[in-house]
Amino acid sequence: MLHKPISVPASHTLMTQLFSELQECKFVEEHKKAYAQFFEVKDTPVRGRRVYHKEEAIKAARRYFGYFGLITNEKMDAFMALHLYRMKDIVEKAFGNIKERLNLRRLLVKSEKNLDGKIFTEFVALILISHLDHKMREVNLYKTYSMQQLLDRLDILECFENESHRLRIGELTTKQADIYEALGVALPTLAC
């Protein structure tokens, strides 16, 4: 169990939003359970729509605002569990990012082998993203770059290939070299 108190204004804003949605008949499907839990709605021909707060239910819910619970069958402390949960979030965000970078929005393939290859490539990329996140935390690169900024900075690296010559890597910028050095990765040489 972890407690990170939500301020009273934040919880008040949520209740105000729910109240307005009910009052104006602008229902949000995801809020249906909250409507039933925290409000009572009465429609009459004379007075129209009346929305009433269920004060006891709101008080009971406010007691638990800011508490976050994770259940696991592994032995670990709360901070380790939260760290692992946040790592999962990073991988999920990276999955969305990789879908764009590797064009995995549509898995239009002609064979089962091509599909397996695309999925395997994405799997390996997610492992690398997770490792990169770990290394960035280890060397405090998050103070300078977000994960997206770091990937964008390294994305500019260019390679040239000519029939009569080996593959050549374009010149690294100073910031790219600093990133490689901070991560403990050898700088790519001009020729591979």
Last residue in a domain, options 35, 68, 101:
68
Last residue in a domain, options 68, 90, 121:
68
In this structure, the answer to whether residues 78 and 133 fall within a common structural domain is yes
Contact 179, 153 (CB under 8 A): yes
148 found inside a domain: no
pLDDT attached to residue 190: 63
Q: Which pTM does this prediction carry?
A: 0.47
162 found inside a domain: yes
44 found inside a domain: yes
In this structure, the answer to whether residues 124 and 165 fall within a common structural domain is no
127 found inside a domain: yes
Count the Cβ atoms, other than its own, within 10 Å of residue 123.
11
In this structure, the answer to whether residues 160 and 111 fall within a common structural domain is no
pLDDT attached to residue 107: 64
Contact 66, 6 (CB under 8 A): yes
Q: How many domains does the chain have?
A: 3
Helix (H, G, I), strand (E, B) or coil at 104: coil
Q: What share of the chain is helix, strand, coil (3-state, %, to 5)?
A: 55, 15, 30
State how far Cα 186 lies from the chain centre.
Answer: 30
In this structure, the answer to whether residues 79 and 125 fall within a common structural domain is yes
pLDDT attached to residue 38: 86
pLDDT attached to residue 179: 92
pLDDT attached to residue 1: 53
151 found inside a domain: no
* Per-position pLDDT tens, the chain of length 192: 555 555 455 556 777 888 888 888 888 888 888 888 888 888 888 888 888 888 888 777 777 666 666 677 777 776 677 677 777 777 677 777 666 665 665 666 778 888 788 778 878 888 888 888 889 989 999 898 888 889 888 887 778 787 887 777 888 888 998 999 999 988 877 655
In this structure, the answer to whether residues 13 and 56 fall within a common structural domain is yes
Last residue in a domain, options 42, 68, 94:
68
In this structure, the answer to whether residues 59 and 82 fall within a common structural domain is no
Residue span of the structural domain in which 118 resides: 74-142
In this structure, the answer to whether residues 126 and 168 fall within a common structural domain is no
